[in-house]
Structure 1
Amino acid sequence: MARLLYLECSPHAGRSAGAQMLRPILDEFEAKGVRVTTRILSGPTLEPISTHYARAITSPGQPNDNAFAGSEQLIGELEHSDGVLINTPMHNFTVPAALKLWIDYVLRIGRTFVSTPDGKVGLLQDKPVLVLVRSGGACTGDDARQPDFLTPYLRHVLHTIGIGSVQFNYLAGREPPDHMWADARRNVYSFLNLLSSNGASA
């Protein structure tokens, strides 16, 4: 059985346009046997990084501390998934605060990556990731009128923990044209069909 981790990063949560497009598709694949873990990152779902956590993560040997309980849950959801679907807006040229907080809990030295003389090395198994990005204006291609720090940042973050198979799909404009939504649906179906077939053959 294929296992999908779905990260919903919009402050509108399930009411976002992207989430409303995705929900019936996810329901369809759940009916086919795909196990979907939904993590809504907006709102008070994740506690801000505390002094306790900051001290624990920089302590020698990182003792088994209850400060890591939330981090362990998020990392566990990632580890036990066969693929990740991220639905996120672009806020001020990069990831929204909710997704950044998830990253701060998941990107953890000694747990999801180690530092070596040649740089950081990821400790997690590679898996496919599809990122749907909503932006107020075009941020890629010849029509781009704003910088895109989200794509290289998120790609680097995931690579740091060992995940390099990342695809991005962009939905630009306050009301993205129909062809963008059609492309997004095709990409989501292709991604989930591949995930489902890989899960069935595992």
Structure 2
Amino acid sequence: MKVLFVNASPHGENSHGYRLAREMLGTLKKSARAETVERDLAAMPLPPLTQDYARAVISREPDTRAFDVSEQLIREIETTDALIINTPMHNFTVPAALKLWIDYVLRIHRTFAATPEGKVGLMRDRPTFVIVGSGGFHCGENARQRDFLTPYLRYALGSIGLHSLHFLLLQGLIRGDDAAAEALEAARGEIARHALFASDALAI
């Protein structure tokens, strides 16, 4: 199998979510056929959308060279069997780096079709794990702020055909090592319950 890892955390290896994603990839690599493709949006930022890209999106006969970055990112998804996204919550939603990635992969006539009922995804569904790191709490009884990230990602990724989303919430990270350890333990428990990480699945 082939797994795409998209990192949007500017903290890199110091990110709890980044290290958790690496654990997940290590588990999957126990299968001899596991292969990883990594896209680090923080270490290697994507170029901003240009006027040429905007013009090509709405053109009947676009200059396809404007889609080079978009095509590369879309193919990275198309050629993988699972997707892991590590992202912090910045100001209640996704960071700018991840939003730009989304703007490139959501492309009319390529990853979704516009219909009277709304966008219909053209991509094959696959297990998608989204690790969300936040200093505070946005879910559960300790929630003190709104969460626009998870519903946005669920809708945006769903619009291109990715519906099998699993959110792993690492909340309260500014509360110290004990809070981080508790959040990671809960996330690992959720991961272990998913069929993709079952020992019998890895042995195939």
The alignment's TM-score, normalised by the length of structure 1, stands at: 0.89
Residue 178 (structure 1) shift: 2.2
What amino acid maps onto 1:197 in structure 2? A
Q: Which residue does the alignment assign to 1:91?
A: 90
The question of 1:182 aligning with 2:185 is answered: yes
Asked if 1:193 is matched to 2:197, the reply is: yes
Q: Is 52-61 or 142-151 further displaced after alignment?
A: 52-61
Aligned residue for 1:127, secondary structure, equals: coil
Stretches of 4+ aligned residues off by more than 4 angstroms: 189-192
* Counterparts of 1:83 and 1:195, CA distance in 2: 17
Tell me if structure 2 keeps the 8 A contact 1:83–1:195: no
Instruction: Give the Å deviation of 1:180.
Output: 1.4
Which secondary structure state, in structure 1, belongs to the residue aligned with residue 29 of structure 2? helix
1:72 is matched with which residue?
Answer: 71
Contact 2:31 2:202 in 1 (8 A): no
Task: Return the offset for 1:110.
Answer: 0.7
Query: What secondary structure does 1:48 align onto?
Result: coil
Q: What's the offset of the Cα at 1:161?
A: 0.3
Contact 2:111 2:122 in 1 (8 A): yes
In structure 1, the residue matched to 2:8 is 9
State the match for 2:50 in structure 1.
50
Offset, 1:3: 1.1
Give the equivalent residue in structure 1 for 2:18.
Answer: 19
Q: What secondary structure does 1:85 align onto?
A: strand
TM-superposed CA distance for 1:187, in Å, is: 3.0
**RMSD (Å), alpha carbons:** 2.1
Structure 2's unaligned 5+ residue stretches are none
CA contact (8 A) 1:86 1:132 kept: yes
How many positions carry a matched residue from both structures? 198
Alpha-carbon distance in structure 2 between the residues aligned to 1:148 and 1:198: 34
SS of 1:67's partner is: helix
Q: Map of 1:95-114 to 2, 5 A cutoff?
A: 95-114=94-113
Aligned to 1:40: 40
Q: Using the alignment, how far apart are the partners of 2:79 and 2:113 within structure 1?
A: 20
What is the deviation of 1:189? Answer: 4.2
- Give 1:30 shift: 2.4
Q: Deviations over 1:46-73 (max 9, x none)?
A: 1011111111111125x35111011001
